[in-house]
Structure 1
Amino acid sequence: MTRSPSIPFGRPSITDREREAVAAVLDGPILTHGPQCAAFERTFAAYLGGGAHCVSMSSCMAALHVAWFHLGIGPGDEVICPAMTHVATAHAIELMGARPVFADCDPATGNIDPDHVEALVTDRTRGITLVHYLGIPCDMDAIMSIAGRHGLYVVEDCALAFGARLHGIHVGLFGDAGCFSFYPVKHLTTAEGGMLTTANEQIAALAAQKRAFGVDRTHDERAIPGMYDVTMLGMNARMSEMQAALGLAQMERADQMLARRAENHRILSEALDALEDVRVIAATLPDSRPSHYCLVAQLEGRLAPRRDDILLALRRAGVGFSVYYPHPVPRLAYYREKYGWTDGQYPRAAAISDASVALPVGPHLGPDEMHSIAGAFGNIVKEL
């Protein structure tokens, strides 16, 4: 029988404050599309700063979909997309009938390589999407420069990047839209949910309408209940009031949880730096602040082909882990079968997928667990 991890990779940080907030909504008359969602949007915007406007969504995937839906991409269009990302980043483009054109990553950070992005621009390119891998800010100066020269939209996937900043600006505010995830093991959780962010007030207003069927007025704006019009095509990508109440309560502890992640990452990173053939993927840009979603140890040399052996040994040792991500997106079956795949096509993304280990640094853990993880990991690699 496989041993259950005694140090889990992720666990939602839920307190009585969150439970009480959700229970209060359940005792009230409004369960969706109400004041909790509006308050969560305002609070999230205030935390981001920089003139942020926020639109709560049912998921980060929904936010990505709404972003490209609003920007109007479609069949015949291309959007440059990182090969190293969660499939949702590419799926949102596919769902619009456009084609994701994949770019390799910077091996130091896992983030999209701006030089490869530049080389992929054609007369069919309409946009660039990117993921701030592990909460490490991308080189947004370079990306926005490319977008400006070619007249391209930019959508930031910030699923792992709440709290990450570059030049003091929170990620998700550089491009036309940013998209955040509140999945259970993310920096904040609403159980499931997301947020679209933008510095453009008009984009926020139209995205809010499009995430709610294209209806022209909210419940509060209807002079006669039940009377409204539909002025544009839309979908149902709304967040519930229970989710928003949970998110609001989580925001009260946001800085505390981010600080714990940063300290856990520091302890574990310093320990792993002493190991031969192990490199921690980390931020390299000056004036950037990562959000430390997890720690990814890149295995090199003799350890690279032994990655799966290390994972199995960690499981036996009771240490939780994951892989970010198990394949470059174009190697996943759907994309491989539709667009083709050639070994060696995205070598740097493949190296991370095939020879890295993601270790936990979340606020459910403390210094003792970091030392335990480092000890177990060090013993395993030394015994191979």
Structure 2
Amino acid sequence: MDRVLASGMVAQGPEVAAFEQEFSAALAGGREVVAVNSGTSGQHLGMLALGLQPGDEVIVPSFTFAATANTVAVCGATPVFVDVDPETFTIDPAAIEAAITERTVGIQPVHLYGHPAPMDRILSIAQEHGLWVFEDAAQAHGATWQGAQVGTFGQGGMFSLYPTKNMTSGEGGMVSCASPELSRQVRLLRNQGMEKQYANEVAGFNNRMTDIHAAIGRVQLGRLPGWNATRQKNAAFFDANLQGVVTPVVRDEASHVYHQYTIRIEGASAEERDAFATALREEHRVGCGVYYPTPVHRLATFRSEADLPVTEVLAREVLSLPVHPSLSEGDRERIVAAVNDVAKAGA
């Protein structure tokens, strides 16, 4: 950090350029990537660069964080909400096909909790209907589908570098781009529409990453493989020892990086799931969280009439347990004992 501050290049500079190159090699299959100031900015600029405009529709899952749909809406387009796979929590390809209209221009699959969406089927649908695909890989750094890294399937993709993610730059995001044209457009949009100073080509934004954030990200990037391996080790321990709950499913084609380790309290109401979480926190001092208690299509900002039965069930049943790389063996055993105790008490 002292080196960056001493350089005098605190704004977007050589650290950002180096971070983009290293991130591309490590996590984006060599695709050109563009660093921005947040994952949400990455989604927004990526879809603007793809030409998204008012009147267009983009198919998105409702079981996700609101930013997935917000970034479609702030482009003036309409997010069309569809259901998800009850086992992997990722977008259901059959639901995508059923939602396509003459206004559909794209699909935004989410690699939720670190498990990849079924990209082969999604790409097949997109190609058949002439749609673009922009991946939301905010939670899936290093995850793969059929051996290929997420963020390398569609025309573009976004990775979040928010502090809670598997790696962070303090705050920031990356946009992976399948073409030089898309990359150039994202670069223009992030920097007030300029490639050369004062030569504004389009109306853009100030969505740049600083060299300070990039320097943090470069260090984190080198540690990510070890951290992901530890997350997977922790998840395997939970898979083998948790009782009375539904543990995460991992498809044969997938590698899961467990941004969240999310169980289901099968058959529970939201109140029963919340009571389960309260018992873990208050009786056993085990932290946990619900991602996400309100499906995006039911938020006040959208109020969609979509009928999404799987999403509604998951919103009632899911609960995420600690899986981060700092867990000790004792922590893992205490989490298992706590979950099994609460599950047994509620049986």
Could you tell me the TM-score, scaled by structure 2's length?
0.96
The amino acid of 1:365's aligned partner reads: L
Matched, 1:36 2:15: yes
In the TM superposition, 1:106-255 aligns within 5 A as: 106-217=85-196, 228-255=198-225
Q: Which amino acid aligns with 2:131?
A: L
Following the alignment from structure 1 to structure 2, what is the Cα–Cα distance between the partners of residues 23 and 309?
A: 47
Counterpart secondary structure, 1:101: strand
Query: Tell me, what secondary structure is at the counterpart of 2:216?
Result: helix
CA distance in 1, matches of 2:211, 2:270: 46
| Structure 2: tracts of 5 or more residues without a match | none
Q: Which residue in 1 is equivalent to 2:229? A: 259
Q: Is the 8 A contact 1:37 1:244 kept in 2?
A: yes
CA distance in 2, matches of 1:237, 1:148: 31
* Alpha-carbon spacing, 1:228–1:301, altered in 2? closer, same or farther (3 Å): closer
Contact 1:110-1:281 at 8 Å conserved across structures: no
Tell me which of the two structures has the higher relative contact order, counting C-alpha pairs closer than 8 angstroms and 6 or more residues apart. 1
1:33 & 1:304 partners in 2: Cα distance? 45
Does 1:374 find its partner at 2:332? no
Measured in 1, the distance between the counterparts of 2:328 and 2:141 equals 20
After superposing the two structures, state which structure 1 stretch, 173-182 or 366-375, moved more.
366-375
Q: What does residue 263 of structure 2 align with?
A: 297
- Please give the per-residue CA displacement for 1:250-285, whole angstroms capped at 9, x wherever unaligned: 11211111111110111112112xx23x1112222x
Once residues 301 and 211 of structure 1 are traced to their aligned partners in structure 2, the CA distance between those partners, rounded to angstroms, is 46
Q: Percent identity at matched positions?
A: 38
Moved more, 187-196 or 204-213: 204-213
Looking at structure 1, the residues matched to 54 and 28 of structure 2 have their Cα atoms a distance apart, in angstroms, of 35
Contact preservation (8 Å) 1:93, 1:99: yes
Distance in 2, matches of 1:132 and 1:250, equals 21
Q: Report the residue type matching 1:145 in the other structure.
A: S
Letter in 1 for 2:298: R
Rounded Cα–Cα distance in structure 2 between residues aligned with 1:74 and 1:303: 39
- Secondary structure of 1:54's partner? strand
2:291 is aligned with what amino acid? Y
SS at match of 1:252: helix
1:327 to 294, 318, 326: 294
The CA RMSD over aligned residues, in Å, is 1.5
Larger displacement relative to structure 2 (247-256 or 90-99)? 247-256
CA distance in structure 2 between the partners assigned to 1:310 and 1:328 by the alignment: 20
Distance 2:137 2:329 in 1: 27
Q: Aligned residue for 2:253? A: 287
Asked if the contact 2:294/2:315 (under 8 Å) is kept, the reply is yes
Alpha carbons 1:267, 1:367 under 8 Å: kept: no
Aligned to 1:76, which of 49, 55, 66?
A: 55
Quote the residue 1:67 is aligned against.
46
SS in 2 for 1:371: helix
Distance 1:281 1:158 in 2: 18
CA contact (8 A) 1:303 1:381 kept: no
Does the CA-based 8 Å contact 2:287-2:321 persist in structure 1?
Answer: yes
Residues 138-163 of structure 1 deviation map (CA, whole Å, 9 limit, x = unaligned)? 11011101110111111110011001
| 1: CA distance, partners of 2:268 / 2:143 | 33
CA distance in 2, matches of 1:49, 1:85: 22
Gaps of 5+ in 1: 1-21, 218-226
The residue matched to 2:246 in structure 1 has which SS?
strand
> 1:134-190 CA deviation, whole Å, 9 max, x = no partner?
111111011101110111111110011001011221100101111011111211111
Could you tell me which residue of structure 1 aligns to residue 276 of structure 2? Answer: 310
Which residue, 104, 110, 134 being the options, matches 2:83? 104
8 A contact 1:265–1:294 mirrored in 2: no
Aligned to 2:184, the other structure's residue is in SS state helix
How far off its partner does 1:202 sit? 2.4
1 CA distance for matches of 2:125 and 2:163?
35
Q: Do the aligned residues in 2 keep the contact of 1:260 with 1:366 (CA within 8 Å)?
A: no
Amino acid across the alignment from 2:79: P
Contact 2:28 2:152 in 1 (8 A): no
Query: Could you tell me which amino acid in structure 1 is paired with residue 206 of structure 2?
Result: N
The superposition leaves residues 60-86 of structure 1 with CA deviations (integer Å, 9 ceiling, x where unpaired) of 000000011111111111110111111
Mapped contact 2:188–2:201 kept (Cα < 8 A): no
Contact 1:74 1:98 (C-alpha < 8 Å) held by counterparts: yes
TM-score when scaled to structure 1?
A: 0.87
State the SS of the aligned residue for 1:357.
strand
Shift of 1:353: 1.3
Q: Is the 8 A contact 1:313 1:380 kept in 2?
A: yes
- The aligned counterpart of 1:271 is 241
Deviation (angstroms), 1:329: 0.6
Residues 302, 194 of structure 1: CA spacing in aligned structure 2 closer, same or farther, 3 A cutoff? closer
